[in-house]
């Protein structure tokens, strides 16, 4: 597994819409493996393919250690409630903000073997799923911020 370069805010790739994965190939599974290694190295919760320069609808989320979720062609099929929490991004280091997200989501996706599955998320998992799926559409978390936090406010939270 390789550690990939995480693109930073300002790179136009982060604003592009990703294409669906038509066929799960060894290249896609290698991408998932490399994204996992990169996520762990960066101590993140989620990572989307455009953040590593690949414009495909692929992302991973790991809110709890050892509970990695690979998502290929994910789509939110149900959402409810609302939460406002602090959010940041590996592509936007040092910047944090309060975002408004659904409290609960259901996402349908394919796994690395091409099997369709759904995942239900609440709290942090719901936020992480929404955040990574947003990346696939060229949306960065601060586009949805209610307010950005100052360095002093970050330390308080």
Rounded Cα distance between 80 and 8, Å, is: 31
CA 91, CA 95: separation in Å to the nearest integer?
10
Active-site residue 132, yes or no? Answer: yes
Catalytic residue among 64, 75, 122, 132: 132
Backbone angles phi and psi of 81, in degrees to 5: 70, -175
Strand 58-61 and strand 46-48: the pairing is antiparallel
Angle (CA) 51 133 7, round 5°: 10
- Catalytic residues, which ones? 132
């Amino acid at each position: 597994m390789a550690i990939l370069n995480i693109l930073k805010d300002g790179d136009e790739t982060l604003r592009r819409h990703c294409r669906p994965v038509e066929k799960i190939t060894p290249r896609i599974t290698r991408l998932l493996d490399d994204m996992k290694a990169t996520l762990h190295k960066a101590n993140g919760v989620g990572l989307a393919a455009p953040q590593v320069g690949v414009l495909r609808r692929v992302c991973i989320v790991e809110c709890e250690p050892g509970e990695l979720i690979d998502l290929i062609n994910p789509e939110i099929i149900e959402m409810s409630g609302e939460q406002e929490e602090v959010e940041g991004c590996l592509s936007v280091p040092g910047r944090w903000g309060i975002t408004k997200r659904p409290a609960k989501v259901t996402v349908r996706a394919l796994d690395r073997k091409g099997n369709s599955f759904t995942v239900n998320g609440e709290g942090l998992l719901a936020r992480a799923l929404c955040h990574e799926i947003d990346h696939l559409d060229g949306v960065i978390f601060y586009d949805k911020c209610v307010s950005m936090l100052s360095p002093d406010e970050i330390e308080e939270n």
